Amino acid sequence: MNLDNLPTLKGANVTGKRVLVRADLNVPVLDGKVRDSTRLKRLLPCLKTLSANGARVIILSHFGRPKGQYDPKMSLKAIADELTRLFGKPVQFVSDCTGPSVKQAVKRLHEGSILLLENLRFNTGEEENNPHFVEALAQLGDIYVNNAFSAAHRAHASTEGLAHKLPKYAGPLMLEEINALRIALDKPQRPTVAIVGGSKISNKIHLLTNILRKVDNLIIGGGMANTFLLAKGFNVGVSLAELNLKNIALEILSNAESFGCRVVLPIDVVIAKSFEASTAHRDVSINSIGDDDIILDVGPQSVKYMKEILKNSRTLLWNGPLGAFEIDPFGAGTFELAQVAADLTKAGYLNTIAGGGDTVAALNKAGVTSDFTYVSTAGGAFLEWLEGRELPGVAALI
């Protein structure tokens, strides 16, 4: 894909136009109340710009996995209420996404007003990318704006189909996500380093294979590091490891060497006898792991070495924690390295791009999310981009 050809809203005439905005409104809702409005706040600049320029804005989104059936727990009504509160002006809501009631609601819109349609996935046509459903949505608008990078890895009616029916644009949040990833992977300041953690290699084989071609240093942590250590002949006790992927791990190490990418594995680890909070634990060299030990975090010597790599780098891409950060005290390695990355970012020495559910949770727990250059909330789309895959929702815009 030639991403330089992405059409943007800059200079687009939206006054009086019906603008369909594909957003991602998947936020935690409990008892009809939004519990985390981060994604909604990131949508606001797009809505405010369109509204201020006289567009008649119609927001499209899915929510959860209702499998084509109406489920009141997955209605977007609560989201409309929260958007109204955040926006400071009414965000209207209609309890369907196609049909006469929706057409009437759209017809009543004034310039600058905003309407949110009901959960698209209440209709089976959304996930099927059904041409009839695509056409029904297209009839509601004059312009299509995809502002949901986090849903761009799905070829659904509202993420891919609509782009072939109407004049199309990438929204500001879509552009933010893509530009951040391009900074990290395509146009980085060097030297570059990637931190890839998480529990299993099997979940990130394609990511690792693609990324080692792009970076100068690759730090591997979390449970997946155990498989690499095992492949190199170290005892990992009863730690999480994938015995059947030892050859894959060795192949990744060999490929990294051929591409000139230095792979950094832990040189010491924090071990315990059980996986529970505040259990007895100690730091040991990777040569001293016992048969009944569980590796739960990287050790202080590893963190010290990794910090030096960060200090000598100019671009950091982070996906996945280095240990079991959810349970105290096994987040120490992740949190310490995150703090160093944040400090270097604030000092202007390091571009830091991070993404993935566990990564965002770990950075939030470390209290450094706002200090990173960019933190993606895209989840699956972020991971597939790192794997080098073409995202249907992005490709359809070009």
Structure-token pair, residue 96? 């369907």
Residue 94 to residue 102: CA distance in whole angstroms: 6
**Is there a contact between 383 and 360 (Cβ–Cβ < 8 Å)?**
no
In the block, residue with structure tokens 């209605």 = 75
DSSP bridge pairs for 317: 194, 353
Helix axes 172-185, 38-52, angle to 10 degrees: 120
Cβ within 8 Å of residue 371, ≥6 positions away = 342, 343, 345, 346
> What backbone phi and psi angles, to 5 degrees, belong to 365?
-65, -30
Residue 267 to residue 125: CA distance in whole angstroms: 52
Q: What is the separation of C-alpha 307 from the centre of its chain, rounded to a whole number of angstroms?
A: 24
Please state whether 151 falls in left (phi above 0), alpha (psi between -120 and 50) or beta: alpha
Catalytically active residues are 39, 200, 357, 380
Q: Which residue, 325, 351, 307, 46, is CA-closest to 169? A: 46
Q: How many angstroms separate the Cα of 271 from the Cα of each of 195, 201, 232, 233, 330?
A: 21, 20, 19, 18, 9
